[in-house]
Amino acid sequence: MKINVRDVEEGCILDQDVKGMVSLPIIPKNTVIQGIHIKVLQSFHIEEVSVEKTKADGTPFNPKQTVETEDRSEQPKRMYDGFLKVYLNKVQEFKSEFHNWQSGMPVSISKIRNIILPLLELVEQTPKNISHLHRYSSKNDYLYHHPLAVGLLSGLIAKKLGLDTGKKLQVTLAGVLADSGMAKIPVSILTKQTALTETEFKEIKMHPVYSYKMVKDISLLKPETKLAIFQHHERLDDSGYPTGEKNDKIHLFSQIIAVADVFHAMISERIYRGRQLPFQVLEQIKEDHFGKYDIQVVQALLDVTADLPIGTIIRLTNGETGEVMFTTKENMTRPLIQIKQTGEIMDLAKRRDLFIEEVIS
């Protein structure tokens, strides 16, 4: 819905780019508005913006008035709204559970199932629903968004790998609970704004152990699910933790969660660094981290997150928009595109200086 800039509040989510006189948007769509963004809007004398009906904290946004009645012809494009509202509400439910764990309460697997399974059903129906979740997570609430995103990604990867429904659900639950042990890390470490000391980093690396201890007596979780929670930071080249396992000693469930975890972590805003571009991260995982992750699992992640059918509209890091004309399994993140502004045919596999910044439609 379009509203006057004077009615914008922190926590509002843009559902359209805010454009100025340059090719790049002043503020891209899906941005969660913060104080600095409001100042930018005022500085550029922007009068109107279009925002979601739900704020980032899951509460409805009810401005004093909208600029115009919403065009019903746009309704098919806005099916994501329903998912976003459910997702943001589930984040708040998970946040409440995390706080319970911090106070010493045990994990309620029934509550976790009630949080994640409705979301999994929605992303299975429309996998694109998962594409923008990282944008709604800020450095202050990453701990609550990350587990849900990892659970959903893990479930979709498991399905892509052909695992049966029971295993898919177990992998999903393991993804959600993998970082539950973070609730046992001192808050002073979790919220520290500067670099961690060696001692503090060692404590962070204990979270898989703490997570396992929190779930080891839950009968509804399979042994391999509990193992995956313990192993999700292990790497095939034995560079991971907490035990430095390698290759066939690392369960498939663990490998799935490892890939989902590192992907979402790298594309999300964290206390100590900003978010990276999803397509750039996918290339890093595939190329720079070769040997650390199972190749089939990485390919499944690509299939889930980088599917670009012919006709898909994308925006590049130089601000240009293009339409996908052709793509291959070997170069899913770098298709052949036609630039909208000039009609130029561009092979992104040969333009390593450019990345896909966003899938528009």
Residues 308-323 have pLDDT tens digits of: 999 999 999 998 999 9
Q: What is the DSSP letter of 103?
A: T
Which pLDDT tens digit goes with each residue over 196-210? 899 999 999 999 999
The encoded tokens of residue 145 equal 């968004």
Which ranges constitute the DSSP H helices of the chain?
35-43, 80-102, 109-125, 142-160, 165-177, 187-190, 198-204, 207-215, 223-231, 252-267, 278-283, 295-305
Q: Which residues contact 146 (CB under 8 A, 6 or more apart)?
A: 137, 179, 261, 264, 265, 268
Type of residue at 213: K
Name residues whose C-beta falls within 8 Å of residue 193's C-beta, 6 or more positions apart in sequence: 271, 272
234 shares a domain with 86: yes
Same domain membership, residue 346 and residue 252? no
For 34-53, the pLDDT digits (tens) are 888 888 888 777 888 888 88
Rounded to 5 degrees, what are φ and ψ at 345?
Answer: -90, 125
Angle at 192 between CA 183 and CA 216, to 5 degrees: 15
Specify the pTM: 0.85
Same domain membership, residue 236 and residue 217? yes
Q: Sorting pLDDT into bands at 50, 70 and 90, what band is 187?
A: very high
CA pair distance 278, 317, nearest whole angstrom? 12
pLDDT at 361: 81
Q: In the structure, what pLDDT confidence band is assigned to residue 21 with cuts at 50, 70 and 90? A: low
Distance (Å, whole) CA 168 – CA 152: 10
Cis peptide before 223 (omega within 30 of 0): no
Q: Is the pLDDT of residue 70 over 50?
A: no
168 and 65 within one domain: no
Minimal CA–CA distance to 151: which of 183, 128, 180? 180
Give the domain CATH number at 41: 3.90.105.10
Contact 276/125 with Cβ under 8 angstroms? no
What angle is formed at CA 146 by the lines to CA 161 and CA 109, rounded to 5 degrees?
75
Most confident among 16-20, 43-47, 225-229 (mean pLDDT): 225-229
Q: Which residue has the tokens 């309460």?
A: 105
Claim to verify: residue 233 and residue 328 sit in the same structural domain:
no
- Same domain? 59 vs 188: no
Number of domains comprising the chain: 3
User: Is the distance from CB of 284 to CB of 295 less than 8 angstroms?
Assistant: no
Q: What is the DSSP letter of 64?
A: S
Say yes or no: 202 and 297 in one domain: yes
Note down the domain range covering 352: 313-359
Asked if residue 86 and residue 66 are part of one domain, the reply reads: no
